[in-house]
Structure 1
Amino acid sequence: MSADTTTRIETEVLGFVKERTGLELGAADDLFATGAVTSLFAMHLVTHVEQTYGVSVTGSQLKLDNFRSASAVAALVTTLRQEP
């Protein structure tokens, strides 16, 4: 996936977080450490990612590190889109 696509995913995820929390964060900011994402909101974020990007997050992919930052989410989406 191109850098433009990665940046677009990061921007969209940050927009989703800002829309629901009011916090404006950077792509590398830790969403959990900043308090932007709680465990309940994390499930909303997972659902949003699945619906928005047409991917399925399952099993070992459901770990905090994959959702810790917008950059991590973009990397996960990229990986999931490359899987057969």
Structure 2
Amino acid sequence: MTAGNIPSTDDLEKELLGFLEGHTGTPWESETDLFRAGGLSSLFAMQLVVHLEKSYAIAIRGADLRLDNFRTVRQMAQLVGRLRQSDTEALDG
């Protein structure tokens, strides 16, 4: 974890890769298009949103629910990082 208990993008990617592999039985790469590769159904995508919200104390709403934010593990990790950063800035400011 980095300062302020915000995990680094690398830490987020590792956790998300482990979560995906545990639920799909398939090892994934951070840049794999999960939808194109058949790794995510719409139902599993919703489970993933719930996992991200609960694991990282974030709320994914509105424009953040765009498919592009969930296409790859790297994009999901960046989304979590952005949301955590904006939450931290809101509390500080």
| One-letter code aligned to 2:14 | T
Question: Can you give the 5+ residue segments of structure 1 that lack an aligned partner in the other structure?
Answer: none
Please say which structure displays the higher CA radius of gyration.
2
Match of residue 30 from structure 2:
27
Match of residue 69 from structure 1:
72
Identity %: 43
What is the CA RMSD across the aligned residues, in angstroms? 1.5
| One-letter code aligned to 2:37 | T
User: Which portions of structure 1, spanning 4 or more consecutive aligned residues, are displaced by more than 6 angstroms?
Assistant: none
Q: Matched residues in 1 for 2:83 and 2:36: separation? A: 25
Count of paired positions = 83
Q: TM-score, normalised by structure 2?
A: 0.84
Match of residue 60 from structure 2:
57
Q: Matched residues in 2 for 1:34 and 1:20: separation? A: 15
Q: Matched residues in 2 for 1:36 and 1:51: separation? A: 21
Match of residue 45 from structure 2:
42
Match of residue 9 from structure 2:
6
Question: Can you give the 5+ residue segments of structure 2 that lack an aligned partner in the other structure?
Answer: none
Q: TM-score, normalised by structure 1?
A: 0.92
Q: Which has the higher contact order (CA 8 A, sep 6+)?
A: 1
